[in-house]
Amino acid sequence: MADPGNMAKDLVSGSVDAWRQAELAGFLLPEQQETLHGQGWLTMLAPRAAGGAELPLPAVVRLEEEIAATDGSLGWVVTLCAGAGWFAGFLPPALASGIIGTPGVCLAGSGAPTGFADTDGDDFIITGRWDYASGAPMATHFTLNAVLRIRGEIVRDEAGKPRIRAFVVPARHVTLESSWRSIGLRASASHAYRIDGARVPASHGFAIDAAHATADGPLYRFPFMALAYVTLAANLLGMAGRFVALAEPLVAARRQHGSGVPLAEVPSVAARLARAREELAAGRAALHETLDRAWADVVRHAVPDEESLQQVSLRLVETCRRNVDALYPYCGLQAAREDAAINRVWRDFHTATQHALLLPD
């Protein structure tokens, strides 16, 4: 894998048109996909023993913010697909190595349990439909959650709730449905997918729990939901930071109605810009401090504070929402043009905030 210290700084140099073309096409262009594979970003959370990079989570979160700041769709695909690659740490090692070693490997998927897994001897028969699989057109494998059934009857736990199991399924069993019609993250191609009676071995089912990890190392002891919160928050932070950077010259170019004073020189507006920069920086620092502390806990086999990770992530997302929405009115009609970079960032940001985990309190 390329040195993550280089981040994504050179990724979009001279390629603004390419990102616009990707948005119009509704998927990442072949040369952009080659960059993802060349950088090794899609397998950066997969076990080293299986062929992944197994990067420390704090380094991944910082990288994902950088990537999202270059392009929202790119950041979203990297985050969701690398997150699915993390599941390789919970698969039988030989299966994990086979999947991660697949040429052009990319795991996409959905966490909603909107399908069924029927037992059939040592196999499972998977049937169902799942929404919002980011990176779906380039996926070699799909992950999913399914309700377990035996002879057509739903299997239930001690509390009477349906038992759910995660699975990984090769893309040859999957039918994509062109359903992604959002205002933003268009190139993420987060389409729905369907599986109609695919037979998979029991080894393709797994439990997302540290007690069931098959790979050693702190990355697979880190709580799944906490990982999801911090990586999603990093994406929103990257997009929000990019929005503020693009807003500043637009605000500077506008003048206050009546007085003719440049908006950037109006004290209240100047204070609003400064506050946005300061609040995002403070939110970033809080996220990194909390994550670094949790990572250190996991490394020494201690239990991290999941509640703190969730709360710092949600507070950061709310900070991003507040500042993006506060600055938007000062940017003028340029920000409302669909072909403007700031408009694409605004649309990507507000689409990303609709993720179910990021609902405000």
3-state secondary structure 89-141: HHCCHHHHHHHHCCCCCCEEECCCCCEEEEEECCEEEEEEEEEEECCHHHCCE
Contact in structure between 90 and 214 (CB atoms under 8 Å) = yes
Mean pLDDT, rounded, for 253-275: 92
∠329-335-338 over CA atoms, to 5°?
140
> How does the average pLDDT of the chain come out, rounded?
94
DSSP string, 215-241: S-SGGGTS-HHHHHHHHHHHHHHHHHH
For the chain, what percent of residues have pLDDT higher than 90?
91
Reported confidence tier of residue 4, pLDDT bands at 50, 70, 90: very low
344 or 6, which is more confident? 344
Q: Which of 137, 129, 88 is nearest to 108 (CA)?
A: 137
Residue 16 pLDDT > 70:
no
pLDDT at 11: 56
Residue 360 — very low, low, confident or very high, per pLDDT cuts 50/70/90? confident
Res. 9 pLDDT band, cuts 50 70 90: low
Q: Would the pLDDT of 183 be above 70?
A: yes
This prediction's pTM? 0.95
> Angle at CA 305, nearest 5°, toward 299 and 310?
115
The mean pLDDT of 54-81, rounded to a whole number, is 97
Tell me: pLDDT of 2 over 50: no
The domain 222-358: what is its CATH number?
1.20.140.10
Q: Please compute the mean of the pLDDT values over residues 17-25 and round it to a whole number.
A: 88
Q: For the chain, where do the domains classified as CATH 2.40.110.10 start and end? A: 107-212
- pLDDT: which is higher, 17 or 353: 353
**Which tokens is 179 given?**
């359903």
Q: Which residue has the tokens 């689409």?
A: 351
CATH number listed for the domain at residues 4-100: 1.10.540.10
- In DSSP terms, which residues pair with 205 in a beta bridge? 167
pLDDT digits (tens, 9 = 90+) for 100-148: 999 999 999 999 999 999 999 999 999 999 999 999 999 999 999 999 9
For CATH 1.20.140.10, the residue range(s) in the chain are 222-358
Average pLDDT over residues 192-200: 98
Distance CA 68, CA 260 (A): 36
pLDDT band at residue 197 using 50, 70 and 90 as cut-offs: very high
Q: In whole angstroms, what is the distance from residue 222 CA to residue 54 CA?
A: 12
Query: For residue 361, what pLDDT band results from cuts at 50, 70 and 90?
Result: confident
CA dihedral (56, 8, 107, 203) in degrees, to 10, reads: -20
- Residue 14: pLDDT band with limits 50, 70, 90: very low
User: pLDDT digit string (tens) for 276-300?
Assistant: 999 999 999 999 999 999 999 999 9
| Topology (CATH level 3) of domain 107-212 | Butyryl-CoA Dehydrogenase, subunit A; domain 2 (2.40.110)
pLDDT tens, position by position, 212-235: 999 999 999 999 999 999 999 999
Q: Pairing state of beta strands 164-170 and 141-150?
A: antiparallel
Q: Tens digits of per-residue pLDDT, 171-180?
A: 999 999 999 9
φ and ψ of 119, to 5 deg: -70, 140
E-strand ranges in the chain read 107-109, 115-120, 123-133, 141-150, 153-154, 164-170, 174-177, 191-201, 205-206
Residues above pLDDT 70, as percent of the chain = 96
Domain with CATH 1.10.540.10 in the chain: 4-100
